[in-house]
Structure 1
Amino acid sequence: MALGGFRSDDGVTRRDFVNGALVAATALAASGCSAAEAPLDEAAAWDGFGGVGDYARAHGNSHAMQAAGHLVRDGAYDTPPRTTPTGETYDLVIIGGGLSGMAAALEFLGKRPGGSCLIIENHAIFGGEAKRNEFDVDGIRLAGPQGANSFPVPAGPGSRGYDVFTAIGMPRGFEYLPAGGTAKALEFCKDNFEFQYWKDRSPSFGWFFGEQGGAGRWARDIWSDDLARAPYPDAVKADFVKWRSHVAPNGGADQSEAGFLRWLDSMSYKDLIEKVMGLSPQVTAYADPIVASAISGMGCDVTSARAAYGSAMPGFRTPQDLARLLEPEQHSLPGGNDVLTRHFVKTLIPAALRGDRSLDAIMNDSVDFTALDRPGNPVRMRLGATAIRVVHDGPAGAARAVKIDYAQGGKLFGLTARSVVMAGGSWVTRNIVRDLPEPHGAAYRQFHRTPLLVANVAVRNWRFLASLGLTACRWFDGFGYCCNIRAAMAVGRDRRPLDPDMPAVITFYVPVFYPGEGTIQEQAARGRFEMLGTSYADYERRIRDQMARLFGSSGFRQSDIAGIILNRWGHAYLCPQPGFYTGIDGARPARDIIRTAHGRIAFAHSELNGQQNWIAATDEGRRAAEQAIAVL
């Protein structure tokens, strides 16, 4: 997934919540009501159960955070507000405490020892989309990813990400535990993505065809016999085989590698599948949710074919070339890529995590929130703070400082920075950098962000899956389209193997998208409206109904569910439309414009890469930090 791995260069007791009508966050913002003034039952009905531990108050975009962000979007601070000056001046202020922001802070700390740095983060805990959900099921602690998960270990010195990996003390080897009980013969995907396509040949991965499948309903490992057991017409089966095994001809006038990439960026992945390869629209429909959940948040119709190429989708490489490309092993810790953000925090603010630098301590020890924003820290982090205005103190070319206003705890504050890195998303930056030059503004209008829902379901047992011989599933109607249980990684004292009689977390990545129904802007807006307008109770019902339909005949009972946590990401992905990478009609690509600093303000978003992953995020953060350092 773009939120996850780098592939190429480019007993919880079930909580009952108020079932009253949900007032959309947009209405709250338009009313001028602050997040703190939102009715308590309304926020609870939207947020739902958050789990246990330090991340319980920050799962996805919370109701309060959405409301605060929408006030900015809707112009509540277009006129400079009256703020309380903090009296602070920092060498560098970073807006955003995710992987890009932390990488920028690490670069600054290494190159400007003795300098001062503040990270402003709007969530209740650091990490951006690389955070965890935690459950306590009958005394057993479980974790699942809120969004970003899956990463490779960099190959060695000189490889991308290697020096960051080394600087933050990430381990280079991980141990996975064998399954236990009746699951000993099963295979598990190590993340939540590769079973969808990249490594989907396993008898433990199943496809639910429902009524289409007749008596079979479930089919395991459908690619092992070229879809012989799948209910597709023979001609469509042949197209699927061609999609997975053939390489589309290079139709560009320039046959060089650069020309090939420009040609791919001139069309959608749907056009490559259907017009260039001449395959059935059913192939596109099969690929749509894979592309949406793991690459762009949208379907093949609006996603550049180059994005599909960069994420190793079919149609570009022979199976042998693809196998070589996928050789770096992908890893996913219990909480996903929070392992990276917690290692960053331990490096930047050592006292914030109470234990030593072992993987066990960094992953499992609690956060000392009082240490994050402590005076005297070379790097400080201010949580629950939403930046609302960032503007040069005078003309950008001559200004000696940048003024920053932010909202925290229902109050507005102001401080000063000598340089700034904008490490949040494009949808935030375009609204709060108040003197943004028009070339940057026009470039940002080519950035289209798309929603995604990640649901972690804690179950008291998963015998209903094991009895089917499955650990990962794909289906074609109803809520979502896939789910799985990841392989069990040994972390510290936790040596518990995956046993169907024991609790586990089943994760659903759910794109909220409408392929072929309007422009990319219209599809993304419709998806956000649906996701932000649906109560926790309604999503809970949909998940329970889907699990009953999928697994009811194999023994699933509603009482098997111990808890459900929703992570709503309104702007989870950038969807790189055709032309995003190389520009349209000879124009400079939008991402190259954004990589140009504006006075004392530099821009760092993982989305600038076109595929979001931890290496892209850290690369962009470090580049922006270097630009910020250059003006000090």
Structure 2
Amino acid sequence: MLYSKEDKDLGMDRKITRRDFLNGVAITVGAAAISSRAFAQGAPDPARLTGLRGQYEGVQSVMHAVRDGTFRLEPGSVRPTKERYDLVVVGAGISGLAAAFHYRQLSPGAKVLLLDPLDDFGGHAKRNEFRVGGRTLIGYGGSQSMQTPSYFSPAVNKLLADIGIEPKKFEGYYDGEWFDKRGLGEGMFFAREVFGSNQLVRVGEKAADWVPKTPLNPKAKQDLIRLLDNPPDYLEGLSRAEKFERLSRITYKEFLLETVKADPQLVTIFQSSTEPYFGVGIDATTCLDAWANHNPGFDGMDLGEKIYKTMSPSGRLARTDPDDYIYHFPDGNAGIARALVRRLIPRALKGRSMEDLVTQRVDYAQLDVPNRPVRLRLGATVVRVRHLGDPATAQEVEVTYVGKGGLQSVRAGHVILACWHKVIPYITDELPAEQVEALKDQVKVPLLYTNVAIRNWRAFDRLKIGNFSAPGTFFANDVGIDFPVSMGAYRFAQRPDEPVLLHLGKVMTSPGKPSREQALEGRRRLQTLSFRDLERTIRDLLGRALSGGGFDPARDIAAITVNRWAHGYAYEYMRPWDAFWPDGPLPIETARRKWGRVAIANSDSGAYAYAHSAIDQGVRAVRELVYVRPDAPAYAKFPGPPPEKLEFIE
């Protein structure tokens, strides 16, 4: 391959570890593929593999063929395995794993099979590993942290305790003073193509101290300082209730331009600020939600701070969060997935403590062993789920999947579908039209989670920043040193000459369109991005933003892993696009209805893209299938038959 001088200066020609994951599956970036069969033979786990990995056959093509109507289940084409389980779980993400675990709690001795099309368990809870300078670096490639444990439901708290996770211990694992002790603050990078010059500015507490140093035009500087330091009551004359009503009907972009009458450069500054929480930028986020996101401009309005609750199905709260954002394994919520697998299949992952979860290796050969009570079968794409008889009276469900043995089927007393909502209508024809439409309502927010291993963080130390935003660029909102978490034998970097991971996040949005259309368009764009272009973008951004600290992208970058989630996080309802929100009825209440011996569990079921919601939905699905004894512990009881809607946090 020929490289230009600019590419060579960026290090595009350097031999480093490059990995590209699409929906959790490694895709080829110039190296030979490793098949899923290798994992059953004891190969290293997916997070640890170096070099490049290819997408094994059938992971996406099978389901796409089912969707497109080109996949045919001909008579005699399915080979029955003669396997029969009490429960089959379709999907081995956190929700599916939690469902399997809770099912066995309520039905001790039950035989359970989990089926998943990927080459690893955990779903969006993805673990990335690197080896740099003799040190192992562990990062998260998807589901990030346990947010706000104070608001977890009793079911979530009980399940976490039962698998050996004590959130309070993160108060010791997470070094909350790591950045402050080193004088590392936040920065904002103004790119030449957006603002006319390349300039990194350290963001201070008072806007008047740092905004004048930016290349913003004079009016934008004045407007930004006022918005941040001393905003007036932009809705003066309205009551608090009237203000809430007004803020719920206009977007934050409209607020900046039409109410604040700010310079358009402020729209560029804040456009991506709401993406990590809401999956869309300020063009599609209401002012009420932007206020909940702590966007500036509302301090003068007397909106109150005490009670603001967006009544989501999982009790999402905003502006009342009592917890620091510290509940994070080095590999993110992959730590939860690993803890669940350890309890379900002890021989696959040894150890007993939270610290062991970080450093112990998974023995993938132990996941799917005959005659074990719990089996986890990777590389298995389910294509059909049907009751053997009338769903109202049938005693068994047949699950057909494509795996390394071809087209096969197993039977189960119960089935839990812990896969995406949109997949379900393609794998069963037993649902009423109303439920099918409700399932199709849930879309996935596409996003990129990129980990860049650098040989040292001296440039950050010299610049005295730990992270920065880059308004108007591709990675506009989230570039910085990873969470400073040390657990057991795994220790986070202490000195500037030690290697660290940088995390770069990107939600694929299409500003100007309704939120669901943005998700669909973002998915199309994400799937067409080449790894080469992404790598060039990463190297160019880091090289320009950190040049003042002596950062050289050709010399200092040791590895890049891109986790591309075309089918990313669950869509959360929001104004103004969802007319039923927040009063209801909500599509998920119809979509997640059980039928016969089949229940649905996934983060889509809660319209809430968080690990504790995935657990709650897994528990709900199990309880819809399994009778809970009247003398069961309080956390496991319902006052009567399982309700359609769980009561979560009040």
- TM band (smaller chain): 0.7 to 0.9
Deviation at 1:140, TM superposition (A): 0.7
Of 429, 450, 456, which aligns to 2:451? 456
Q: 1:216 to 1:543 in 2, by over 3 A?
A: closer
Partner in structure 2 of residue 606 of structure 1: 603
Deviation at 1:523, TM superposition (A): 2.6
Tell me the secondary structure at the aligned position of residue 206 of structure 2: helix
Of 625, 631, 637, which aligns to 1:628? 625
Q: 1:586 to 1:219 in 2, by over 3 A?
A: closer
**CA distance in structure 1 between the partners assigned to 2:72 and 2:614 by the alignment:** 29
1:360 matched to 2:355: yes
Q: 1:520 to 1:216 in 2, by over 3 A?
A: closer
Q: 1:581 to 1:180 in 2, by over 3 A?
A: closer
Partner in structure 2 of residue 562 of structure 1: 558
Of 61, 73, 77, which aligns to 2:67? 73
**CA distance in structure 1 between the partners assigned to 2:257 and 2:53 by the alignment:** 36
Root-mean-square deviation (CA, aligned residues, Å) is 4.2
Tell me the secondary structure at the aligned position of residue 381 of structure 2: strand
Tell me the secondary structure at the aligned position of residue 60 of structure 2: helix
1:505 matched to 2:501: yes
Tell me the secondary structure at the aligned position of residue 425 of structure 2: helix
Measured against aligned partners, the alpha-carbon deviations of 1:119-174 in whole angstroms (never above 9, x if no partner) come to 11111111111121000112210011011112257349975632122111113313
The answer to whether the Cα contact below 8 Å between 1:95 and 1:387 also exists between their aligned partners in 2 is yes
Partner in structure 1 of residue 3 of structure 2: none
The answer to whether the Cα contact below 8 Å between 1:77 and 1:389 also exists between their aligned partners in 2 is no
The answer to whether the Cα contact below 8 Å between 1:452 and 1:512 also exists between their aligned partners in 2 is yes
The answer to whether the Cα contact below 8 Å between 1:299 and 1:515 also exists between their aligned partners in 2 is yes
Deviation at 1:313, TM superposition (A): 6.1
Measured against aligned partners, the alpha-carbon deviations of 1:346-395 in whole angstroms (never above 9, x if no partner) come to 11111110x32122322211111122122333322111111111122233
Measured against aligned partners, the alpha-carbon deviations of 1:502-538 in whole angstroms (never above 9, x if no partner) come to 111001111121111x344443233222221222222
**CA distance in structure 1 between the partners assigned to 2:498 and 2:447 by the alignment:** 29
Which amino acid counterpart does residue 353 of structure 2 have in structure 1?
A: S
Of 47, 51, 59, which aligns to 1:55? 47
| More displaced 10-residue stretch of structure 1: 233-242 or 617-626 | 233-242
Which amino acid counterpart does residue 330 of structure 2 have in structure 1?
A: P
Which amino acid counterpart does residue 191 of structure 2 have in structure 1?
A: G
The answer to whether the Cα contact below 8 Å between 1:121 and 1:385 also exists between their aligned partners in 2 is yes
1:136 matched to 2:131: yes
Q: 1:280 to 1:161 in 2, by over 3 A?
A: farther
Of 197, 201, 207, which aligns to 1:225? 207
Deviation at 1:16, TM superposition (A): 8.1
Tell me the secondary structure at the aligned position of residue 451 of structure 2: strand
**CA distance in structure 2 between the partners assigned to 1:263 and 1:78 by the alignment:** 53
1:591 matched to 2:572: no
Tell me the secondary structure at the aligned position of residue 331 of structure 1: coil
Rg: which structure is higher?
2
Tell me the secondary structure at the aligned position of residue 272 of structure 2: helix
1:101 matched to 2:96: yes
Measured against aligned partners, the alpha-carbon deviations of 1:221-243 in whole angstroms (never above 9, x if no partner) come to 24433664353242354345578
Deviation at 1:109, TM superposition (A): 0.8
**CA distance in structure 2 between the partners assigned to 1:507 and 1:310 by the alignment:** 24
The answer to whether the Cα contact below 8 Å between 1:107 and 1:622 also exists between their aligned partners in 2 is yes
**CA distance in structure 2 between the partners assigned to 1:347 and 1:420 by the alignment:** 20
1:385 matched to 2:343: no
| More displaced 10-residue stretch of structure 1: 150-159 or 102-111 | 150-159
Greater relative contact order (Cα < 8 A, sep 6+): 1
Q: 1:52 to 1:418 in 2, by over 3 A?
A: closer
Deviation at 1:252, TM superposition (A): 6.8
Which amino acid counterpart does residue 613 of structure 1 have in structure 2?
A: Y
Partner in structure 2 of residue 295 of structure 1: 277
Q: How does 1:538-577 map to 2 (within 5 A)?
A: 538-557=533-552, 558-575=554-571, 576-577=573-574
Deviation at 1:486, TM superposition (A): 2.5
Partner in structure 1 of residue 189 of structure 2: 208
Which amino acid counterpart does residue 279 of structure 2 have in structure 1?
A: G
How many matched pairs? 576
Partner in structure 2 of residue 417 of structure 1: 412
The answer to whether the Cα contact below 8 Å between 1:265 and 1:580 also exists between their aligned partners in 2 is no
Partner in structure 2 of residue 327 of structure 1: 323
Which amino acid counterpart does residue 380 of structure 1 have in structure 2?
A: R
Q: 1:276 to 1:605 in 2, by over 3 A?
A: farther
The share of aligned pairs that are identical, in percent, is 28
The answer to whether the Cα contact below 8 Å between 2:48 and 2:130 also exists between their aligned partners in 1 is no
The answer to whether the Cα contact below 8 Å between 1:179 and 1:498 also exists between their aligned partners in 2 is no
Deviation at 1:88, TM superposition (A): 1.5
**CA distance in structure 1 between the partners assigned to 2:286 and 2:517 by the alignment:** 17
Partner in structure 2 of residue 29 of structure 1: none
The answer to whether the Cα contact below 8 Å between 1:421 and 1:624 also exists between their aligned partners in 2 is yes
Measured against aligned partners, the alpha-carbon deviations of 1:61-114 in whole angstroms (never above 9, x if no partner) come to 957533333223222335557211111122211111111111111210110112
Tell me the secondary structure at the aligned position of residue 608 of structure 2: coil
Which amino acid counterpart does residue 453 of structure 1 have in structure 2?
A: L
Q: How does 1:481-520 map to 2 (within 5 A)?
A: 481=476, 482-516=478-512, 518-520=513-515
1:234 matched to 2:222: yes
Deviation at 1:247, TM superposition (A): 9.7
Of 333, 336, 345, which aligns to 2:332? 336
The answer to whether the Cα contact below 8 Å between 1:582 and 1:589 also exists between their aligned partners in 2 is no
Which amino acid counterpart does residue 60 of structure 2 have in structure 1?
A: Q
Of 343, 346, 351, which aligns to 1:347? 343
Measured against aligned partners, the alpha-carbon deviations of 1:421-458 in whole angstroms (never above 9, x if no partner) come to 11112232232233232111111232122211111001
Q: 1:309 to 1:448 in 2, by over 3 A?
A: farther
Tell me the secondary structure at the aligned position of residue 518 of structure 2: helix
**CA distance in structure 2 between the partners assigned to 1:599 and 1:133 by the alignment:** 39
**CA distance in structure 1 between the partners assigned to 2:339 and 2:137 by the alignment:** 20
The answer to whether the Cα contact below 8 Å between 1:186 and 1:471 also exists between their aligned partners in 2 is no
Partner in structure 2 of residue 193 of structure 1: none
Q: 1:383 to 1:503 in 2, by over 3 A?
A: same
The answer to whether the Cα contact below 8 Å between 1:582 and 1:588 also exists between their aligned partners in 2 is no
Instruction: Give structure 1 stretches of 5+ with no counterpart.
Output: 1-12, 27-34, 46-50, 188-202
Partner in structure 1 of residue 530 of structure 2: 535
Tell me the secondary structure at the aligned position of residue 134 of structure 1: strand
Which amino acid counterpart does residue 469 of structure 2 have in structure 1?
A: R
Partner in structure 1 of residue 636 of structure 2: none
**CA distance in structure 2 between the partners assigned to 1:585 and 1:406 by the alignment:** 38
The answer to whether the Cα contact below 8 Å between 1:208 and 1:219 also exists between their aligned partners in 2 is yes
Instruction: Give structure 2 stretches of 5+ with no counterpart.
Output: 1-13, 35-42, 308-317, 628-640, 643-650
TM-score (norm 1): 0.79
Q: How does 1:41-190 map to 2 (within 5 A)?
A: 53-56=45-48, 62=55, 64=57, 65-77=59-71, 79=73, 82-152=77-147, 154-155=149-150, 161-171=156-166, 172-174=168-170, 175-176=172-173, 185-186=181-182
**CA distance in structure 1 between the partners assigned to 2:586 and 2:458 by the alignment:** 51
Tell me the secondary structure at the aligned position of residue 580 of structure 2: coil
| More displaced 10-residue stretch of structure 1: 476-485 or 221-230 | 221-230
Measured against aligned partners, the alpha-carbon deviations of 1:584-608 in whole angstroms (never above 9, x if no partner) come to 7986310111232122221112133
Deviation at 1:484, TM superposition (A): 1.1
Which amino acid counterpart does residue 217 of structure 1 have in structure 2?
A: Q
Q: 1:184 to 1:574 in 2, by over 3 A?
A: closer
TM-score (norm 2): 0.77
The answer to whether the Cα contact below 8 Å between 1:464 and 1:555 also exists between their aligned partners in 2 is yes
| More displaced 10-residue stretch of structure 1: 565-574 or 549-558 | 549-558
Measured against aligned partners, the alpha-carbon deviations of 1:275-315 in whole angstroms (never above 9, x if no partner) come to 788877665554442332x2243334445777667766665
